[in-house]
Every structure is written in structure tokens, then in C-alpha cells.
């Protein structure tokens, strides 16, 4: 799944009264010295597209810079006082820039570069080193204007640039969410009211437009998928993964066609995320099964999640975009108090392609005895790869979105639950305490997981998005 290259605006603030100081000195005037600083600083943004209007000295230059940032639709703005500066232009910037996220950076020099200020040349160097003075002054404007979309960072250039790179990635995702659509097919899950979110709030507070897709259209697309294409995909799946028992060829073909159809309908409406209410009875009667092979081999542009949970779907999408790793959709099943672990997983569409995990093709036992046309059609039953995982949840309460993040360990295990992608989990605290904290927050049962510890990114992303944030 492609990720957006960050677009970063650069606002470097200096005072007009310093501009020409130091003419004729050994190292040149203030303005020349700062041009060199700016040029070197820009080399650290090679991972992004930058929008740089030049060093800002005057109100008029700042006004033009504000218009430029908006017209270029930047993801974020890196702001930095190059020295002390009058804050009249800065206060205007904060007032007029809107809700674009800001990095407010104070770069600490490794060394001052001068021993005293006894000469004019050294005095100018003393003035150029006064970024701390400017930062302190400008922070007052941030507080007075109650700008919440500001991340304040102070440190070495390397530390500041590392923080900026991370923030840029999160801001690029924020921008993507505001320009994306996600698909819901056909509806939210009427059996799980706590998972309901307001589509209007999703659009206005997070960004994506929700496209409500039709079961009938999915069925039509499924019917149009050729046997040749289905057979090719089936061969790839069966050649790579272990098969449990006997697989009905007709039902296998139907499950593959259903999975391909889900990806095709998502592409048709330009949606990288498809939230499927796979237990909808009309859906199951119409297409005859619950599709079980998304992503199909070679697919990396569409993510499908089950049970009509938009919040959990967004969690999976967020982790996928930020990490480019395998992401799984889970719900905790039960606690084993003796071992301090819990079992978790989910039936229905789930990423089964992680080669560090274990995948088995088996019958969908939940519907094997139903009257569906393709009752018990095969699907991919996956055991999650072992190691540290980040686990996140998103839901809505009183018009506010809350992001809950934690990290857990997935233990190495073989298949122990039939009909589900699953794993054995151990939290980094007593298991009863872990779930007591989740219950106290008030969550739903669905979560997304991916490898590694991404709590810092989740914490920062929640701040950028204006979510209530809980970390366990």
C-alpha cells in the first residue's frame, strides 16, 4: 500500500532590525550568515517535498508565506526562530495559518562558535546564536492563542530532525485521511451497537468520506470474475499453504471469486479500506458464503476488515499506512489466568500472508451446516507471528473519538482454534489488570495489531488528530 510523500512548509523567523548588521565583517552580515544556516537546514528534508518562501523578516513576507502554505496544501509546517525576532509576524502566522500541524523547533548548537562578543564580527555571531531567546518569546504567543496543533521540540539538530521526520509521516497520513474514501459494505453491524460511529463525524473530524456499497453490485462483480482467473489465484494459494482436510473445489472457487470481488469493488470506488459486514445475512444469502482470502496473492492496495466496524477498520488502515507491515484484526476471546495470557483473533477476512506466521486452508466451520449456497467454503486460518505487537482501538463517545493503544507479546504457538485467525497473547502487566483498565476506559471488542512497539507514533498521531488518547 503506497504511502504519501510528506509535504512540509518551512517557516524560519528573523528580525528585520538584524538583517544588515555586520556588513563588512569577516563572516558577513547577519542575513548572509542565516542564508547559509537555512540552506544547510533544508538538506535535512530530503525525504519530503518542501515549500520554503525564504527567511521571514517582515509582516508582508509572512502574509505571503501563509498564502503559499495554504495554496500548496502542506501536510505540516516546520517553524524555527533563527535568533531573537520581533514576534509581530509570528503572532500573525499563528492567528491566520489555520489548523495545519506545526513543529516548533529549537535547535541547540553543539558549540557556540565564538568565545566572546568583543568584536563586531563576534557580536553578530552572538546575535545569530540567540535562537533560544526567540523560541521563548514565540512560545508565549502559542500559549496565548491556544494553538493545540503544535509539537514543541528542543534538542540537537539530529534530535530535532528525527522528531520532524516522524511527525511528517503522521501528518502525511492525516492529510491522506482527509482526501480518502473508505467503503462500508453493506452497513454497520446491528449486533454490535458499541462499534457504531457517526459517518458525518468520521468525515468532519477524521477525514474520509464513507462510501456505502451495494451487495447487489458485489454479487454482479463476483459473477463477472472468470473461472480462469479464479483458478490461477486458487493454484497460488493451495501451492503455498497447508490444507486441512478435503477442500471442495466449487466452494474454494466461490470463496476466491468473492475475495477478488471485494478487492475489485473497493478499487472501483477508489477505496483502500473496505469495511465488510461479513455476518450480514442478506450478504451471505446473496453471494452464498463469507469470502476468506483477502488479500488475494499479489494484492497490496486494498485492506478488508470484517464485522462492519469502521473504527477498528481505520485502526488497521492507520497501522498499515504507518508501518507498511502485516496488520491483523482481532478480538480477545478468553483469559488464561494460570499462564497470564489471553487468546485473541477473528474469523472472516484477515491478513494471512505473513510468512512469519502459520497459515492453514480449512473449512469455515461456523457456516458449514448452514443453508448457504457454498456452506463451509474454505478460508485462510492464520496463526499470528510471535513477538511484540502494537494493539490499537478506535471508537466514538459523545462526538469525541478515542484511541486506545497498548503493546503485547504474541507467543509462538500452533493452530489451536478452528475457524479463526488467532494467537496467544501476553500483556506486559498482569492480564487481569490489563483488561480491567480496558473495561474502565470503555471500549469495544475489536483491535488492530502489527509487529513492533509503535506507542510513540500512536501518542503523537492522537494529538495531531485531536483524539482522546489512552495508553496501557
- b/e sequence 402-436, b meaning 16+ C-beta within 10 Å: bbbbbbbebeebebebebbbbbbbbbeeebeebbe
Q: Is residue 2 part of a domain?
A: no
Q: What percent of the chain has pLDDT over 70?
A: 98
Does residue 206 sit in the same domain as residue 329? yes
Given this model, what pLDDT does residue 115 score? 67
- Total domain count for the chain? 2
Per-residue pLDDT, 459: 97
Cα(451)–Cα(390) distance, rounded to whole angstroms?
A: 6
In-domain check, residue 78: yes
Percent of the chain with pLDDT strictly greater than 90: 86
295 and 414 fall within a common domain: yes
Nearest to 431 by CA among 415, 413, 447, 408: 408
In total, the chain counts a number of residues equal to 472
Please write the tens of the pLDDT for every residue from 176-225.
999 999 999 999 999 999 999 999 999 999 999 999 999 999 999 999 99
Distance CA 22, CA 454 (A): 48
Check whether residue 15 and residue 126 sit in a common domain.
yes
pTM, two decimal places: 0.93
CATH at residue 332: 3.20.14
Question: Are 167 and 217 found together in one domain?
Answer: no
In tens, the pLDDT along 55-84 reads 999 999 999 999 999 999 999 999 999 999
Cβ(150)–Cβ(102) under 8 Å? yes
Helices 310-323 and 157-178, axial angle in degrees (round to 10): 140
Strands (E), 297-350: 303-305, 327-336, 341-346
Residues 229 and 138 grouped into a single domain: no
For residue 1, tell me if it sits in a domain: no
Q: Is residue 347 part of a domain?
A: yes
Q: Which of 225, 250, 154, 172 is nearest to 7 (CA)?
A: 172
In a shared domain, residues 186 and 174: no
pLDDT digit string (tens) for 411-459? 999 999 888 899 999 999 999 999 999 999 999 999 999 999 999 999 9
pLDDT tens for the chain, 472 residues: list them: 889 999 999 999 999 999 988 888 888 999 999 999 999 999 999 999 999 999 999 999 999 999 999 999 999 999 999 999 999 999 999 999 999 999 999 999 876 666 667 688 788 887 877 789 999 999 999 999 999 889 999 999 999 999 999 999 999 999 999 999 999 999 999 999 999 999 999 999 999 999 999 999 999 999 999 999 999 999 999 999 999 888 899 999 999 999 999 999 999 999 999 999 999 999 999 999 999 899 999 999 999 999 999 999 999 999 999 999 999 999 999 999 999 999 999 998 999 999 999 999 988 877 777 888 998 899 999 999 999 999 999 999 999 999 999 999 999 999 998 888 999 999 999 999 999 999 999 999 999 999 999 999 999 999 999 999 999 9
271 shares its domain with 411: yes
Amino acid at each position: 500500500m503506497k504511502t504519501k510523500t510528506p509535504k512540509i512548509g518551512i517557516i524560519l523567523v528573523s528580525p528585520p532590525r538584524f538583517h544588515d548588521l555586520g556588513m563588512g565583517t569577516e563572516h558577513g552580515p547577519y542575513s548572509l550568515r542565516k542564508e547559509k544556516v537555512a540552506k544547510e537546514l533544508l538538506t535535512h528534508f530530503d525525504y519530503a517535498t518542501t515549500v520554503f518562501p525564504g527567511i521571514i523578516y517582515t509582516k508582508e513576507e509572512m502574509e505571503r508565506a501563509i498564502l503559499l502554505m495554504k495554496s500548496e496544501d502542506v501536510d505540516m509546517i516546520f517553524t524555527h526562530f533563527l535568533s531573537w525576532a520581533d514576534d509581530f509576524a509570528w503572532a500573525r502566522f499563528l492567528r491566520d495559518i489555520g489548523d495545519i500541524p506545526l513543529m516548533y523547533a529549537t535547535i541547540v548548537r553543539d558549540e557556540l562558535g565564538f568565545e566572546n562578543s568583543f568584536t563586531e564580527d563576534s557580536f553578530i555571531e552572538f546575535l545569530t546564536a540567540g535562537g533560544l531567546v526567540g523560541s521563548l518569546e514565540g512560545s508565549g504567543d502559542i500559549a496565548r492563542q491556544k494553538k493545540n496543533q503544535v509539537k514543541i521540540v528542543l534538542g540537537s539538530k539530529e534530535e530535532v530532525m528525527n522528531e520532524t521526520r516522524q511527525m511528517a509521516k503522521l501528518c502525511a497520513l492525516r492529510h491522506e485521511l482527509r482526501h480518502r474514501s473508505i467503503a462500508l459494505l453493506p452497513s454497520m453491524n446491528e449486533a454490535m451497537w458499541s462499534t457504531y460511529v457517526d459517518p458525518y463525524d468520521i468525515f468532519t473530524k477524521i477525514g474520509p468520506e464513507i462510501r456505502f456499497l451495494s451487495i447487489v453490485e458485489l454479487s454482479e462483480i463476483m459473477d463477472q470474475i472468470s473461472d480462469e482467473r479464479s483458478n490461477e489465484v486458487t493454484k497460488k494459494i493451495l501451492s503455498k499453504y497447508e490444507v486441512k482436510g478435503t477442500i471442495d473445489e466449487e466452494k474454494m472457487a466461490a470463496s476466491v471469486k468473492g475475495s477478488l470481488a471485494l478487492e475489485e469493488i473497493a478499487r472501483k470506488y477508489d477505496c483502500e479500506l473496505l469495511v465488510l459486514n461479513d455476518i450480514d445475512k442478506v450478504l451471505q444469502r446473496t453471494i452464498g458464503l463469507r469470502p476468506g482470502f483477502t488479500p488475494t496473492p499479489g494484492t497490496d492496495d486494498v485492506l478488508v476488515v470484517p464485522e462492519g466496524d469502521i473504527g477498528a477498520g481505520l485502526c488497521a488502515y492507520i497501522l498499515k499506512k504507518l508501518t507498511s507491515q502485516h496488520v491483523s484484526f482481532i478480538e480477545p476471546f478468553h483469559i488464561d489466568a494460570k499462564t497470564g495470557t489471553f487468546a485473541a483473533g477473528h474469523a472472516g477476512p484477515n491478513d494471512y500472508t505473513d510468512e512469519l506466521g502459520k497459515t492453514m486452508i480449512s473449512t469455515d466451520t461456523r457456516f458449514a451446516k448452514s443453508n448457504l449456497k457454498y456452506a463451509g467454503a474454505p478460508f485462510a486460518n492464520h496463526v499470528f507471528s510471535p513477538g511484540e505487537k502494537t494493539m490499537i482501538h478506535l471508537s466514538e463517545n459523545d462526538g469525541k473519538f478515542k484511541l486506545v493503544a497498548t503493546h503485547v507479546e504474541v507467543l509462538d504457538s500452533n493452530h489451536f482454534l478452528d475457524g479463526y485467525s488467532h494467537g496467544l497473547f501476553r500483556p506486559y502487566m498482569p492480564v487481569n489488570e490489563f483488561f480491567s483498565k480496558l473495561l474502565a476506559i470503555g471500549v469495544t471488542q475489536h483491535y488492530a495489531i502489527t509487529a513492533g512497539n509503535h506507542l510513540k507514533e500512536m501518542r503523537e498521531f492522537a494529538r495531531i488528530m485531536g483524539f482522546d488518547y489512552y495508553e496501557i
